[in-house]
Chains A and B, each alone.
Chain A
Amino acid sequence: MSKITVDGLTKRFGDTVALDDVSFEVPEGEFVIIMGVSGSGKSTLLRCIGGLLEPTEGSVRIDGRPTASDDDDVAFIFQQHNLIEEMTAYSNALSGSLGRNGLSASLLQLQDDDEKYRSLEALDTVGLLDEARSEVRQMSGGQQQRVGIARALVQEPEVMLADEPVSSLDPGSAQEVMRYLRRTTEDRGLTTLTSLHQVNIARKFGTRFIGLHRGRKVFDGYRNELTIDAIDDIYGDIDTEGMFVSDETGARNDPAEPTEDEAAP
């Protein structure tokens, strides 16, 4: 049974059509990358799935249920991290458990020790256990985004949605964050949808790809189907060949590549 079902999803903002009749299904445990240029509807799609936006037409169902923003089975990772900068990494991670705790318990940090251990384990998973007590605003962009992942993990979701999680990071941090995202979702058997506009990173980490162009789905397939022509369809008439080639050579030199191939179906 498919985990996420998107059926005839259309979203309009006034006269602008952000999403035009998009349909697809994602089975449980898949790591899907949504590709497309800026303004192609990637964020709108993820926000509709996460329940932050109401679809104009069509429906989004997770496990057969309509989506809602306060559903704590769905976690969201944001482009701009959206952490609470004045709090520590630990407090931010712990805020992922808000849905399971009352106001007074969360306010006074009186959650179960289980929750606190879970937060520290999540920080450990993203390699930030030693920075648990640092204030988030003093951290680098890559570290902040990993705290964002930790917060999403503490929520113990079944579905993880990430909206351009690495677009504000330098290439090194971007790969690191994607690696953590990929690994944690695999370890926990999550279904993950993440939007990306860097072709090379997408190819390196994705198993399945959905391409959007001007709000319409122009590609849906697995790694071996993602050819130069497919990328041209997604990105239009820009010079995608250069990206493709440099990615291939870069990937060959990368020792992590064999494991990525094993992960790909």
Chain B
Amino acid sequence: MASLINEAFKKAKNASRPALLTYTVAGDNTKKQSLKILKSISAHADICELGFPHNTPIADGGQIQSSAYRAIKNGIKINDVFAIAKEFKLSKKTIPIILMGYYNMIYQYNEDKFLKKCKNSKIDGLIVVDLPYPENKSFSKKCKKQGINFIQLVSPTTSSIRLKRIIKDSHDMIYYISMLSTTGGKLKVSARKILENYFKIKNQNKSKNVVIGFGITEKTIKSLKKADGLVVGSAICKELSKSIKYRQNAVTNVTNVVRRLKNKIK
């Protein structure tokens, strides 16, 4: 498949490193600022995840919650999220964008309308936190029809039968949740154990790109280098919160974090 997501992984693989995936919340803390951040960090990130903020995020920890509340407070709407992505894609054509969020917002927007808008804004993939397999079957099919990657999540609690089925139903990328935690938790499992689980997934179908997320920071990223890709979210949101608090330049600070993350896995 010639998806941009696949290309991004291939590029990283050719450089013998995992792909770096960043997560930021659209509209955090303003529409303009989040676009600036996105553009700036994409110099170092291979794939950018963009969260559409929800005010009842049941799987997110404190950092991403704060980012989401900030964005909502500043009036971000779903259409703004699409606008940010579209604008980003005008100048960064080859960097894949993955939207990530909760199903209620897609449901209210209407699935078909949402996907049309995704396509129109050149969104490459979607992660829907609270739409697990097999409930996501029909939606994931719709995504595929539109050429949008639906990204399945897998966790340490996923049984082996389930894992097989999920992999079979997955598109180009699978997201492995490193541990039992909300986003931004402290990594409470050893890197060895995480990678052991990771390879259980990877070895089932080597053509799938498997990324690891949750609990990845500047401190821990190096230990998980063997993965196809690594996602950092809360650590980035945290830096943004800090920059706002101390009235520092968020674009510079956040970009520096992403650059350092990248250097650790080169």
Tell whether A and B belong to one assembly: no
